[in-house]
Amino acid sequence: MRRLRTTVVVGAVIALAAVGCSPSKSGPGGTNPTSGIGQAQTAVDPDAKGPAPEVSGAKKGGTITVYSQSTPNTFDPTDVYYVDANEIGKLMWRTPTQIALRNGKAVLVPDLTDLGTPSADGLTWTFKMKGSFKYEDGSEVKVEDLAYSIKRSFAHDLFANGPTYQLTYFKDGDKYKGPWASGDTYAGVETQGTDTLIVHLAKPFADLAWYMTFPMFTPIPKAKDTKDNYKNKWISTGPYMLDAYTPGTQLKLKKNPNWDANSDAVRHQYVDNWDFKWGAEDVANQKQILASAGGDATALNYSNIDASLIPDIEAGKKSQLVQGDSPCTIVLQLDTRKIPLEVRKAIAKAYPSDQIWQAAGLNDYVAEPATTIMPPSVAGYKKYPPVADLTGEGKGDPAEAKKLLEAAGKVGFELSWYYDNTKPISQQTTAIRKEALEKAGFTVKPIGVTTAELRSKTSDYDAPVNMGQSPAGWCSDWPTGSSWFPVLFQTHSIADGSSWGMLQDSALDAEIDAVAKLPAAEATVKWAELDQKIMGQYIAIPRYYDKLAFVMGTGIGGAEGDGTMGMPFFLNMYVK
Residues 361 and 19: their CA atoms lie apart, in Å, by 7
Full-model pTM: 0.84
Q: Which residues pair with 367 in a beta bridge?
A: 546
Give exposure, 237-254, as e/b (b: 16+ Cβ within 10 Å): bbbbbbeebeeeeebbbb
- For residue 207, the Cα-to-chain-centroid distance in whole angstroms is 17
pLDDT tens for each residue of the chain, 576 residues long: 333 333 333 333 333 222 222 222 222 222 222 333 333 456 899 999 999 999 999 999 999 999 998 888 899 999 998 889 999 999 999 999 999 999 888 899 999 999 999 999 999 999 999 999 999 999 999 999 999 999 999 999 999 888 889 998 999 999 999 999 999 999 999 999 999 999 999 999 989 999 999 999 999 999 999 999 999 999 999 999 999 999 989 999 999 999 999 999 999 999 999 999 999 999 999 999 999 999 999 999 999 998 899 999 999 999 999 998 888 999 999 999 999 999 999 999 999 999 999 998 888 999 999 999 999 888 889 999 999 999 999 999 999 999 999 999 999 999 999 999 998 989 999 999 999 999 999 999 999 999 889 878 998 999 999 999 999 989 888 888 999 999 999 999 998 888 999 999 999 999 999 998 888 788 999 999 999 999 999 999 999 999 999 999 999 999 999 988 889 999 999 999
Strand positions, DSSP E, 156-248:
189-192, 196-200, 240-246
Task: Yes or no: say if 132 and 140 are a contact pair by the CB < 8 Å rule.
Answer: yes
The per-residue DSSP string of 227-263 comes to: GGGTTTS----SSEEEEEEETTTEEEEEE-TT--GGG
User: 471 preceded by cis ω (within 30°)?
Assistant: yes
For Cα atoms 283, 288, 290, give the angle at the middle one, nearest 5 degrees: 95
How far is the first Cα of the chain from the last one, in angstroms, to the nearest whole number? 34
For Cα atoms 304, 308, 313, give the angle at the middle one, nearest 5 degrees: 75
For the structural domain made of 326-547, what CATH number should be given? 3.10.105.10
The closest of 517, 569, 475 to 120, measured between CA atoms, is 517
Residues 485 and 472: their CA atoms lie apart, in Å, by 15
Instruction: Please give the single-letter amino acid code of residue 514.
Output: A
Q: Count other C-beta atoms under 10 Å from residue 6's C-beta.
A: 30
Burial (CB < 10 A; 0-12, 13-18, 19+), residue 191, is middle
Identify how many contiguous H helices and E strands the chain contains and give both numbers: 17, 24
What letter would DSSP give residue 201?
Answer: B
Task: Yes or no: say if 70 and 303 are a contact pair by the CB < 8 Å rule.
Answer: yes
Question: CA distances (Å), 501 to each of 344, 425, 471, 482, 504, in order?
Answer: 11, 25, 10, 18, 9
Please report the pLDDT score of residue 11 as a whole number: 36
What letter would DSSP give residue 562?
Answer: E
What letter would DSSP give residue 544?
Answer: E
Residues in the chain: 576
Residues 82 and 99: their CA atoms lie apart, in Å, by 17
What letter would DSSP give residue 20?
Answer: S
Residue 10, classed as helix, strand or coil, is helix
Task: Yes or no: say if 350 and 436 are a contact pair by the CB < 8 Å rule.
Answer: yes
Which run of H or E residues covers position 368? strand 367-369
For the structural domain made of 45-267+549-575, what CATH number should be given? 3.40.190.10
Please report the pLDDT score of residue 10 as a whole number: 35
Please report the pLDDT score of residue 42 as a whole number: 64
Task: Yes or no: say if 471 and 496 are a contact pair by the CB < 8 Å rule.
Answer: no
Residues 489 and 466: their CA atoms lie apart, in Å, by 17
Residues 509 and 356: their CA atoms lie apart, in Å, by 34
User: What values do phi and psi take at 228, rounded to 5?
Assistant: -75, 0
Distant-in-sequence, close-in-space partners of 283: CB < 8 Å, separation ≥ 6 = 17, 306, 308, 309
Helix ranges restricted to H, 383-450 = 398-408, 424-439
Residue 223, classed as helix, strand or coil, is helix
Residues 216 and 210: their CA atoms lie apart, in Å, by 12
Domain ranges of the chain: 45-267+549-575, 326-547
Q: Which residues pair with 535 in a beta bridge?
A: none
Question: CA distances (Å), 502 to each of 334, 356, 365, 542, in order?
Answer: 8, 24, 32, 16
Residues 249 and 433: their CA atoms lie apart, in Å, by 36
